[in-house]
Structure 1
Amino acid sequence: GVDRDITKRKETEVEIINALAKEKQLGELKSRFITMKSHEFRTPLTTIYSSAELLEHYGTKWSEYKINNHLHRIQNMVQHMTRLLNDILLIGKVESGKIELKLTPIDLESFCTDLIYQIQLNDRNYHTIKFTYSLEKFENKLGSNHGRNNAASSFSSARPYMDEKLLRQILENLLSNALKYSPKGSTVEIKLTCSANQAIFKISDQGIGIPEEDQGLLFETFYRGTNVGTITGTGLGLAIVKKCLDIYQGQIDLESEVTVGTTFTVTLPIYYVLSN
């Protein structure tokens, strides 16, 4: 009999299979990107061109209101394209490791209130965003050098530290999606609960829901649910959320039922510095 060691050959075969699978995945990713890019850029560019052409030919005959209406359309489309490009650039920065966690002092309640206000300014479907904020007691959770009474008395002076840029990306994308996929005039809820070591955000909507077969793929770049229909989107929002959470070492959970609504629960580590 002849013994032959084929370990290296098998390892090479596995490497080739993995390389081919990765190449196929990249090919599919590029294909989805090209499809998304052509659609998402063509629509605003068509709107910009149409409004500019109408202003050129009829601007001198129109009322100031009608002129301003077309100017606003152009501005809105430019902002839309800018946001899309920023999302693509952010994905690239994250994947190349150019974004790091940077913790700074933050007033979480004010931060959330301001973010909600900004999002509602751009909401044209008259949604209501309901925000609730609660704090758990710090008792015996601030360190071994703090007794129960000392910890409780220091609670009001504890300053939370978080990465504001990453937090903004996470909440902004989740809230924007909640509004986008919810009926006109419906309510979206965001609940924030803070403890000594984590912040938990719950974003709930009364929207179209996410089919069970889509839920495991939602955080892939350019992936969109099979039931979105004609609702526009790029498939970048949840991918950005997941990548920001990976940097933050946070967690996201999903509960959803088609035609009933969706709840995303985001859990982030939070750090406190006690003021003297």
Structure 2
Amino acid sequence: MREPISGRAARKTSLQEMRSEYISMAIHEFRTPITAITSSIELLETKMELDALMLPFYKRNLSRIKEEITLLNNMVDDILISGSMVSGSMVARPEATDVVAFVGMIRRQYFHQRADKRQLSIRVSGARRHIYIDQSQLTGILTNLVGNAFKYSQGQGPLLRLHYGKKGLYIKVKDTGIGIPEKDIPFLFTPFFRGRNVGSRAGAGLGLAIVKRFVMANNGTIAVSSGAAGTVFTLMFPYVPDNNPGGHSA
């Protein structure tokens, strides 16, 4: 007898859940050595500075190691999040957020003291207000987009613009990189898709798919334009309703 459709669907769901759990367990095992390496690098860096041994050569290469650790951490996060997307267990927990302060924290924590000396520029315009967003997911959005902007740009660092419009906050991440082929743009937010011109640059092709999922989960929109001058990602998030406590910043 043929297996009922409901039985096949249940079995498929069970297999997806098992696969998601396995991925989650494996990824958590990766975090232990990554954390150990990070701690050792930070201790080594502190000790060398205290002993006045931090020559430019050592500082440059320690910074490079930290950048690669951040990249590896981001890839681990992307794989873990993709498992949540497949299982349907990913949910947004929004809260009133001052994005100007939040972006400053992201720059200090993830994009400070790069080995290549490039920096993330931040510009703000309009009357500053809070938006209602999951801060963990906002971190994933910003680190993915800004990280890609650094990865695919040369010369100068990327630009992040925050514009407080009438209906919501517009976030633009602009680079001066290699651009995205026009034929690739429709597939850009597809899991595991990578542009034909990325070459040997590291990446699993999950970041932008996750970004779009996070943006949609927080009632936002995302668009992309690209050309010879680089690529711009434009996001828009609505404000906290006026009757929501904390909806306006002081």
Tell me the TM-score normalised to structure 1 length. 0.60
Alignment-derived partner of residue 98 in structure 1: 89
* Identity between Structure 1 and Structure 2 (%): 33
Q: Which amino acid aligns with 2:240?
A: Y
1:190-229 matches, cutoff 5 A: 190-195=160-165, 197-229=167-199
1:186 and 1:75 map into 2 onto residues whose CA distance is: 20
Q: What pairs up with 1:105-184 in 2 under 5 angstroms? A: 105-121=96-112, 123-136=114-127, 159-183=130-154
SS state of the match for residue 242, structure 1?
helix
Pairing 1:269–2:238 present: yes
Find the counterpart in structure 1 of residue 208 from structure 2: 238
Shift of 1:226: 0.7
On the 8 A contact 2:131/2:169 being kept in 1, the answer is: no
Q: Report SS of the residue matched to 1:127.
A: coil
Gaps of 5+ in 1: 1-40, 49-63, 137-155
Q: How many residues align?
A: 193
Cα RMSD after superposing both structures: 3.2
Give distance in 1, aligned partners of 2:79 and 2:209: 10
Larger Rg: 1
Deviation at 1:122, TM superposition (A): 6.1
Q: 1:105 to 1:248 in 2, by over 3 A?
A: closer
1:99-133: per-residue Cα shift (whole Å, max 9, x none)?
22212122221111111222322633222322111
Which residue of 83, 94, 102 corresponds with 2:74? 83
Task: Summarize the alignment of residues 251-270 of structure 1 with structure 2, pairs less than 5 Å apart.
Answer: 251-258=221-228, 260-270=229-239
In structure 2, relative to structure 1, the CA distance for the partners of 1:109 and 1:74 (3 Å cut) is closer
Do the aligned partners of 1:197 and 1:271 also contact (CA within 8 Å) in 2?
Answer: no
Deviations 1:213-267 (A, max 9, x none): 1111111111111111222222111111111122123211111014x20011011
Name the SS of the counterpart of 1:213 in structure 2: helix
CA distance in 1, matches of 2:107, 2:66: 22
Give the whole-Å Cα distance in 1 for the aligned partners of 2:87 and 2:220: 19
Question: Any gaps of 5 or more consecutive residues in structure 2?
Answer: 1-29, 38-52
Tell me if structure 1 keeps the 8 A contact 2:161–2:172: yes
Counterpart in 1 of 2:50?
none
1:191, 1:79 → 2: CA distance? Answer: 23
Aligned residue identity for 2:140: Q
Change (3 A) 1:85 1:214: same
- Superposition deviation, residue 75 in structure 1: 7.3
Q: Are residues 261 and 159 of structure 1, via their aligned partners in 2, closer, same or farther at CA, if it must alter by over 3 Å?
A: closer
Q: Is the 8 A contact 1:196 1:270 kept in 2?
A: no
C-alpha distance 248-129 of structure 1, shift in aligned 2 (>3 A): same
